[in-house]
Amino acid sequence: MITVWPAILEHDLQSIQQRINAVAGLVEEVHLDIMDGDFVPNTTVNDPAGISRLDWKGLKVSLHLMIKHPELQVRNWALSNVSSMVVHREVVNNMDSLIQLLHGINVPLGIALNPHTPSYEVTPYLDQLAFVMIMGVEPGFAAQGFNSDVLEKIRYLREQKPTLPIAVDGGVSLKTKAALVEAGATILCANSYLFKADNLIEAYHE
């Protein structure tokens, strides 16, 4: 069973609302990119109150937190329709306390690995995570080329834990889909492939 999460990377609330409007009724859940301009060289809306006032139209949202010091901010991001938070392994010093923190606020935790971050950084924690997210690009921008070296990490994690949901973010398209699914990915996050398509609904179903 493959799930597709439309990925929303926008710089103002109005543009996020337009993306929500475009996929409401088509999907149940979206992936929202949050960037602080520090962990990545780009910024998006980094304002939980503003995001919470959007008209989410019943959609759940998985927050992709591309921010430094996530442990200081996750409480502010625990909005009512947040279905999970994804934190980057590269910025976590103490995985155990992060896992406890998310458990305490009752939010499922996904851990993202940048293309060059090895899978052993996350393997000790697989039983405590809702999913692992493999980045197919360096985080920061949409519409970059997919780094096929990461397929090996997906295969390895799939072997380590056959029931683990594995998300992929960055460079997901019709071209990369087959290899991703074959390697073991179960959640495909896609931004430009969907939102730049002539027909978003057709692109989603494909």
Among 82, 171, 177, 187, the residue binding ligand DX5 under the rule CB under 6 A is 171
Query: Does 33 participate in catalysis according to the annotation?
Result: yes
Binding mask 68-87 for ligand DX5 (x = CB under 6 A): --------------------
3-state secondary structure (DSSP) of residue 189: strand
Which is closer to ligand DX5, CB of 34 or CB of 74? 34
CB of 135 to ligand DX5, least distance (A): 7
CB of 166 to ligand DX5, least distance (A): 15
User: What per-residue string of b and e applies to 170-202 under the rule 16 or more CB within 10 Å gives b?
Assistant: bbbbeebbeebeebbbbbbbbbbbbbebeebee
CB of 144 to ligand DX5, least distance (A): 6
Query: Does 169 participate in catalysis according to the annotation?
Result: yes
Rounded (5°) CA angle 80-132-59: 30
CA-closest candidate to residue 77, choices 117, 115, 44: 44
Which is closer to ligand DX5, CB of 77 or CB of 193? 193
Handedness of CA 3, 177, 128, 80 (dihedral sign): negative
Rounded Cα distance between 88 and 91, Å, is 6
CA-closest candidate to residue 139, choices 23, 59, 46, 40: 40
Q: Taking CB under 6 A as the criterion, which residues in 17-76 touch ligand DX5?
A: 31, 33, 64
CA-closest candidate to residue 179, choices 142, 150, 201: 150
Among 169, 173, 177, 188, the residue binding Zn ion under the rule CB under 5 A is 169
Residue 150 binds which of ligand DX5, Zn ion, none (CB < 5-8 A, kind-dependent): none
Active site residues: 33, 169
Residues that bind ligand DX5 (CB under 6 A): 7, 9, 31, 33, 64, 137, 139-144, 169-172, 189-193
